[in-house]
Every structure is written in structure tokens, then in C-alpha cells.
Structure 1
Amino acid sequence: MNPSVKSVAAIEGYTLSLLFENGEQRLFDVSPYLDKGIFTELKDPEYFKQVRVSFGSVEWPHEQDFSKDTLYLLSK
């Protein structure tokens, strides 16, 4: 089982800086998803910054989200 997200911050270039409960700090690039369905709204930099931790993963106000597994396995 992959660790949950403890904290998240939106940084330059549509990237999320993630701190996982196991102490690992990783970066997740959201840009490959920006032209797909509900994720197009994330192109707005002010909206992108509204990301928050929710139940061990991350989400935005209009319910766009990424699972903790996706975030952990695809982050660097």
C-alpha cells in the first residue's frame, strides 16, 4: 500500500510538491492531464493553487482529484 499525502503545495509549471506520510518529498507533474476532461479547469493558475489534501490524496474545489497511488507511483 502506498503512503498517504500529508501536505501539498502548487508550484511553478503545474507541479505539485508533495510530502507523504513516510517522510518522502516528491514532485508530481500535472501538465500531461490539463487537456483531459475535468482537468482542463486546472489550467487557470489561481485555481490550480487551490489544491488541498483530502483523505490522503489531493483535490481541488470542483472535485478534480488524483489518488494517493497515482501521486506516489508517478511522482519523482
Structure 2
Amino acid sequence: MIRVISATAIADFRLHLTFNNGEQREFDMRPYLDYPVFEPLKNPGFFALAKVDYGTVTWPGEIDIAPETLFYKGISSVGRALLR
């Protein structure tokens, strides 16, 4: 079972994530911000409140996103470095 062990909110509504298998990925939240549940995350200050709880990323107000989504739709930090 894939789990997030650390998460940092970075520029442009992205998350830098480390998973329990050791992989690091970046996840772009921008495509999700128009969903009603994620509307509060449009505020950069609120987005920055991201934290890890029970193996996934959460925000105040019971906002969370599945760790599988973060992993499978995230971009590998290794791959991202190669794209630069």
C-alpha cells in the first residue's frame, strides 16, 4: 500500500512528496482546484498548510487527496530533473 511520508507545498500549487517506497514525486494540484472540495486550496496561504496525516496529504477542513492519486499522477523527481 502506497503512503505519503512527507509533503511540502511548493510554488504554483505543487506538492513535493516522498512515499514509503522511497520515491519522490511532484504533484500539480492546479487541475483539481476547480473541484468544489478543493476550492479553499486556491488561496496560496491555505495551500501551504498541507501536512501528512494517515499516509496522505491533508489540509484543514477535512480536505485530502488519495495517496494513490498523488503517486500515479505525480511526476518522478528523477524524471523531472531529466526534463530540465
Band of TM-score, shorter chain: over 0.9
Match for residue 25 of structure 1? 24
**Higher fraction of helix:** 2
- If the length of structure 1 is used for normalisation, what is the TM-score? 0.94
Mapped to 2, the partners of 1:67 and 1:38 lie a distance apart of: 13
**Aligned-pair CA distance for 1:56:** 0.6
**Aligned-pair CA distance for 1:62:** 1.0
Write the letter of the residue equivalent to 2:49.
Answer: Q
**Aligned-pair CA distance for 1:63:** 1.2
Write the letter of the residue equivalent to 1:21.
Answer: N
**Aligned-pair CA distance for 1:59:** 0.6
SS for the counterpart of 1:72 is: helix
Mapped to 2, the partners of 1:46 and 1:16 lie a distance apart of: 14
Mapped to 2, the partners of 1:35 and 1:67 lie a distance apart of: 17
Match for residue 46 of structure 2? 47
Q: Any gaps of 5 or more consecutive residues in structure 1?
A: none
Mapped to 1, the partners of 2:14 and 2:62 lie a distance apart of: 18
The percentage of aligned residue pairs carrying the same residue is 44
CA RMSD for the aligned pairs? 0.8
**Aligned-pair CA distance for 1:5:** 0.3
SS for the counterpart of 1:71 is: helix
Could you say which structure has the larger radius of gyration? 2
Mapped to 2, the partners of 1:73 and 1:26 lie a distance apart of: 9
Match for residue 69 of structure 1? 68
Match for residue 13 of structure 2? 14
